Amino acid sequence: MTVRIGVVGTGMIGQDHIRRITDVVTGAEVVAVTDVDIARAERVASGVGARALPTGQDVITDPLVDAVVVTSWGPTHAEYVLAAIAAGKHVFCEKPLATTAEDCLRIVEAEQAHGRRLVQVGFMRRYDQGYRAMKRVLDDGDLGAPLLMHCVHRNPTVPEAYHSEMATQDTAVHEIDTIRWLLADEIVSAQVLTPRRTTRRFEHLQDPQVMLFETASGVRADVEVFVNCQYGYDIQCETVGETGTVRLPDPADVWLRQSGRLSSGVLQDWKRRFAAAFDLEFVEWVAAVREGTLTGPGAWDGYAAAVVCDTTVEALHSGRAVEVRMKDRPAFYES
């Protein structure tokens, strides 16, 4: 069976996922798209032989759409995910699941009322081969108990619209999910350090920031977010265990020896850094939709990330360590 997909939001990542579903994934096709910029939706639709429909609701309720991909702006996600659950359709939602923890909880409750998992959140690092290899090492237990994690998330530049809270909500949200997933542990407190600010930033922005997280089992994780680092897109992660450490590999590249220098390139954006992870994310999601058994990051992970993000933003404003106040995980989301 071919999974017929409707896409809500045909901006940058929406177009990239449409290309991916069309050219990379087998067993799926994009049949309908929409965007508030309807001319953009029509342009994108014509490129893949899909229909451009007037609204997200039209796409979600269309009888020819089996599953939905939500790639519109963050504040619109909750409405579309809830509509997809109401229609009984699988929905892949780019991060964030919703922009408030309350909305994430409404989604969690709606999904439980429906009775089976329908929601997957776009935390694509869980599909990156380096992160997966690190998870295998940690799960094997050869390093003993994990004690510390050191993470770095650098972007070359960000636009003026990017504000200090987005360092958490838009950027470190990926580390928040990977810390929870790699350690199979919950984050229980957050603190934010605000070092000397780079001169290469818009005036309103605190950049860089250092986030300090503690997990329920006592692991300490530090995350450096530096979104105007100038030199490239750089993601690093190291976990320190009792008998050794495990570190994320840098993306493969050739080493150049020339003019007395040894050098290799640094990628410039998330699109290329995680291209293979995005591909695998969609291959596995489509396979799971066909089988009706979702295993990727779900609504509970979206909720947990949102609560930790809210706590981290509170910590940024207060300058203090703040306790994470999260609901207990329902049995529905165990395993």
Minimal distance, residue 168 CB to ligand ISE, in Å? 11
Dihedral, CA of residue 6, residue 12, residue 15 and residue 17, to nearest 10 = -70
CA 132 from chain centre, in angstroms, equals 15
276 by Cβ neighbours in 10 Å (0-12 / 13-18 / 19+) ranks as middle
- Per DSSP, what are the bridge partners of residue 212? 191, 222
- Per DSSP, what are the bridge partners of residue 222? 150, 212
315's CB contacts (< 8 A; 6+ apart) are 190, 191, 192, 211, 321, 322
Asked whether the beta carbons of 96 and 173 are under 8 A apart, the reply is yes
Minimal distance, residue 283 CB to ligand NAD, in Å? 16
Residue 270 touches ligand ISE, criterion: CB under 6 A: yes
Contact map string, positions 146 to 165, toward ligand ISE, x by CB under 6 A: ---------x----------
Residue 120 touches ligand NAD, criterion: CB under 6 A: no
Stretch that binds ligand ISE, among 3-11, 23-31, 71-79, 166-174 (CB under 6 A): 166-174
Q: Which residue number, 52 or 308, has a Cβ lying nearer to ligand ISE?
A: 308
Residue 77 touches ligand ISE, criterion: CB under 6 A: no
Asked whether the beta carbons of 121 and 93 are under 8 A apart, the reply is yes
- Which partner in ligand NAD, ligand ISE, none is near 155 (CB below 5 to 8 A by kind)? ligand ISE
CA 310 from chain centre, in angstroms, equals 16
Question: What whole-number distance in Å separates Cα of residue 241 and Cα of residue 255?
Answer: 30
Q: Which of 13, 182, 235, 307 binds ligand NAD (CB under 6 A)?
A: 13
Residue 12 touches ligand NAD, criterion: CB under 6 A: yes
Q: Which residue number, 103 or 214, has a Cβ lying nearer to ligand NAD?
A: 103
**Interface residues for ligand NAD in 70-89 (CB under 6 A)?**
71-74, 76
- Which partner in ligand ISE, ligand NAD, none is near 72 (CB below 5 to 8 A by kind)? ligand NAD
- Please count the residues of this chain forming the interface with ligand NAD, following the rule CB under 6 A: 24
Q: Which residue number, 56 or 146, has a Cβ lying nearer to ligand NAD?
A: 56
Residue 224 touches ligand ISE, criterion: CB under 6 A: no
Asked whether the beta carbons of 71 and 41 are under 8 A apart, the reply is no
Q: Which of 5, 8, 118, 176 binds ligand NAD (CB under 6 A)?
A: 8
315 by Cβ neighbours in 10 Å (0-12 / 13-18 / 19+) ranks as buried
What residues make contact with ligand NAD under the rule CB under 6 A? Answer: 8-14, 34-37, 40, 56, 71-74, 76, 94-95, 122, 124, 170, 270
